[in-house]
Structure 1
Amino acid sequence: MLKAFLKDRLLLIILYILNLASILLFFYLNVPANTEFFYPISIGMFFLLVYLVIDWLRYYPANSGVARQLRNQDAHLEAYTEEQKGFKELLSKTVGEQSQKYTELKEQNKERLYFLSHWMHHLKTPVSVIELIINKEEKTEALDKIQLENKRLHFSIEQGLTMIRMDSFENDFELKAVDLLSTLRKLINSRKREWIYQSIFPSIEFEEEQAIIITDSKWNEILIDQIISNAIKYSGEKDGNKKLVFQIERKAEHICLAIVDQGVGMPDYDLERVFQPFFTGENGRKYPNSTGIGLYLSKKIADKLGAAIEIQSELGKGTTVRIKWLAGKND
């Protein structure tokens, strides 16, 4: 900051020294016998130093406050000079205007999300009615296909609602001990028809009776369900031999879950972007129902839960998604 201060006043210092030299030269030319230079130079430099010290004391508080605010630290801006007061007033006016615009945009966004949320909740009603009608009718292949598509519609609606709820994640969040095995069994059982329809055989590989993790049970189910949905969506052709394996492993203070599918996989150049919103990559050109939302939501939820998530894939051979949680104590 001192370097910047001196740089800003370099022209003034040079002009002051030139002015002092000119005065001394004038008196020397008029009185050649007077060769005393040290005393007047000392007096002149002393007054220059006094001025710079006083100016520094007025310069430092305001500019140190600006520097702290640029480092995102709390600091009060103190203005001493008229120039500083003018900039402070301009800054206050700009901040006030931007705060007002931000508040207005926030309210508008809140209103849009409110109506969007209610609209999506209303969409769930006909989806539920269709499910009830299908369950009352005699089972046929056509009805099975309708029911499957209806479940996909329901899942898409829930995805949209999940994206809306992400803005208020902290208000609907409770960390506790959750049995990962129970969660997996629940999610697998909820998709029985899809396993049959896609000819996929899910299995859990774990030797212990419980796998306790520290997480929020509801959000954790959404996280895993997004990955399962992707594994089903990109399972490829039905050949009756595909497996979806849930491998649980205990590593020190963590529990790791690897969800291994035998689907179409992804090319290497897509892996770096799979967690970006609405990125569908190469598979998005082959599967029209790709949205690019599932893995994005998985990453967002995992980050909120403090879980680590990573993905590996090989084109034509399948995909492995790994999630790591902090382990809890078994009962």
Structure 2
Amino acid sequence: MIKKYVTERRSWIMLFIVQQFLILFVAFIDSTIPLRSMLYLVFLSMILFSIFFVIRYSKETKFYRSLEERDNNLDLTSIAGPESPFEQIIETSMTNQTELLKQTASYNLMTLEQEKDDLLAWIHEVKTPLTAMHLMIDRLDDEMMKAHLTYEWLRIHLLLDQQLHQRRIPFIENDLYIEHTDLETIIFDEIKTLQSWCIQKGIGFDIDLEVAEVLSDAKWLAFILRQLLTNAVKYSQASEIMVSSYQRADQTILEVKDRGRGIDPKDLSRIFDRGFTSTTMHQDTAATGMGLYLAKKAAQSLLIHIHVESALGIGTIVTLTFPQKNEFVRITSV
């Protein structure tokens, strides 16, 4: 801070120094003025100026030091009180700007909450005719038309479900209920939802669950598996998708393995980024780039680690590593 203070006051310092040289110069060229006395006067002036400089440094930098040390937030209580008119101008300007920012942030938050509530209400409203549409599709006699309509219905259903959970994820901690969850029930329910799509593509499932139960939130775990199974079906042709669970040390592992098109190695580090689709199939308009992103966000709240291994043309293995029981203290204690 002293370097900044000297830089700020350098014009005053230079003026004082020039004045002292001017006094000595006048005493040097004017023989009637004793040079020794002028030297003594300059020396006393320098001492007095140094003392004044030190005192003013402490007084004038107090306000600015508090500005420099404060946290980057809208709380101005940590700022030292202004002691000069210029400091008062700065404080008044900052206070007014902070109040304006608080009002803007509050308004934007209210608007965002209103939009979120409206969207959630709209999603729930749309689900009613969507359910009725599914019942109507089931009554069709034309199997080909029924299969096509069921596929399109499923796409809409999955997109709405994704939007619904996307709005809920910021508040997922308020919605968690950790319990012993039956993996088989969740997996088979999700496969049943995708059944028509799987039949259309000729995809089957091989289920091998050595570990039948995990400690997790059933609803959010189902959402994570829904994203993984949807991706596996979407990017696979006629083949089998393998879902297995086993114990490794003190942790439960769940694997979803497909023989689909795979992921380019250069894309692996970005697959969990929001909105990222692919570089190899960039023109694929069906991809939203949200499934794995949302699955990752939900998994983090459940302390589940997601790992992906893949190669182009070979397939993809997604591994879910569930936390140990004592790790859930972090969730349940919130």
Q: Specify if TM > 0.5.
A: yes
Aligned mates of 1:207, 1:120 — CA distance in 2: 37
3-state SS in 1 of match to 2:125: helix
How far does the alpha carbon of each residue in 1:114-147 deviate from its partner, in whole angstroms, 9 at most, with x for none? 2222222111111111222344566834324423
Which residue, out of 277, 280, 285, partners 1:280? 277
CA distance in 2, matches of 1:9, 1:94: 28
Provide the C-alpha distance between the structure 2 equivalents of 1:307 and 1:59, rounded to a whole number of angstroms. Answer: 54
**Counterpart code for 1:54:** I
Deviation by residue 1:63-96 (Cα, 9 ceiling, x = unmatched): 2222223556966212212111111111111122
2:207 and 2:38 mapped to 1: Cα distance?
A: 95
| Alignment: residue pair count | 323
- Listed as ranges, the matches of 1:246-285 within 5 Å are 246-252=243-249, 254-282=251-279, 284-285=281-282
Q: State yes or no: 1:142 paired with 2:110.
A: no
Give the gaps of 5 or more residues in structure 2. Answer: 327-334
Deviations 1:245-282 (CA, angstroms, capped at 9, x unpaired): 23445445544433221111122333333223333224
Amino acid in the other structure paired with 2:203:
I
CA contact (8 A) 2:308 2:317 kept: yes
Q: Distance in 2 between matches of 1:83 and 1:300?
A: 48
Q: Secondary structure at the match of 2:36?
A: coil
1:113 maps to 2:116 = yes
Select between 302-311 and 113-122 the one with higher mean Cα deviation: 302-311
Q: Which amino acid aligns with 1:232?
A: V
Shift of 1:158: 0.8
Counting only pairs closer than 5 Å after superposition, residues 106-255 of structure 1 correspond to structure 2 as: 106-136=109-139, 140-176=143-179, 178=181, 180=183, 183-210=186-213, 212-213=214-215, 215-236=216-237, 238=238, 242-252=239-249, 254-255=251-252
Contact 1:177 1:328 in 2 (8 A): no
> Please, which of 321, 324, 330 is the counterpart of residue 324 of structure 1?
321
Q: 1:125 to 1:66 in 2, by over 3 A?
A: same
Q: Percent identity?
A: 24
> Closer, same or farther in 2 for the Cα pair 1:274/1:40, shift >3 Å?
same
Matched letter for residue 243 of structure 2 = F
Structure 1 residues 11 and 219: CA distance shift in structure 2, 3 A: same
Residue 23 of structure 1, CA deviation? 1.9
**One-letter code of the match for 2:122?**
W
8 A contact 1:61–1:77 mirrored in 2: no
Where does residue 16 of structure 2 map in the other structure? Answer: 16
Change (3 A) 1:71 1:254: farther
Q: Alpha-carbon deviation of 1:222?
A: 1.0
Alignment partner, residue 68 of structure 2: 67
For the 8 Å contact 1:266–1:282, the answer to whether it is kept is: no
Of residues 172-181 and 222-231 in structure 1, the stretch that sits farther from structure 2 once superposed is 172-181
- Per the TM alignment, residue 328 of structure 1 is displaced from its structure 2 partner at its CA by 2.1
- Give deviations 1:6-59, integer Å, cap 9, x for gaps: 221222212212212222332344346542566434421222223222322223
Q: Tell me the CA shift for residue 235 of structure 1.
A: 0.9
Provide the secondary structure at the position in 1 that maps to 2:309. strand
**Residue in structure 1 matched with residue 329 of structure 2 by the alignment:** none
- Please give the alpha-carbon distance, in whole angstroms, between the structure 2 residues aligned to 1:265 and 1:111: 40
1:176 and 1:73 map into 2 onto residues whose CA distance is: 40
Letter in 2 for 1:229: T
Q: 1:19 to 1:314 in 2, by over 3 A?
A: same
Q: Report deviation, 1:219.
A: 1.8
Which letter does structure 2 place at the counterpart of 1:66?
A: L
SS for the counterpart of 1:326 is coil
Match of 1:26 in 2: 26
Aligned ranges 1:96-107 → 2 under 5 Å: 96-107=99-110
Q: Secondary structure of the residue that 2:256 maps to in structure 1?
A: strand
Q: What one-letter code is carried by the residue in structure 2 that aligns with 1:295? A: L
- Does structure 1 conserve the Cα–Cα contact (< 8 Å) formed by 2:236 and 2:261? yes
- Name the CA distance, whole Å, in 2 between partners of 1:220 and 1:196: 24
Q: TM-score, normalised by structure 1?
A: 0.84
Moved more, 169-178 or 120-129: 169-178
1:264/1:315 contact within 8 Å kept = yes
Q: SS where residue 272 of structure 1 aligns?
A: helix
For 1:48 and 1:324, locate their aligned partners in 2 and report how far apart those are by CA, in whole Å.
70
AA matched with 1:86: I
Which amino acid in structure 2 is aligned with residue 4 of structure 1? K
Give the drift of 1:149: 2.8
In the aligned structure 2, how far is the partner of 1:149 from the partner of 1:32?
Answer: 104
SS at match of 1:292: coil
On the 8 A contact 2:258/2:316 being kept in 1, the answer is: yes
Q: What displacement does 1:189 show?
A: 4.6
RMSD: 2.9
TM-score with structure 2 setting the length: 0.83
SS at match of 2:4: helix
Contact 2:241–2:259 (CA under 8 A) maintained in structure 1: yes
Q: Is 1:296 paired with 2:300?
A: no
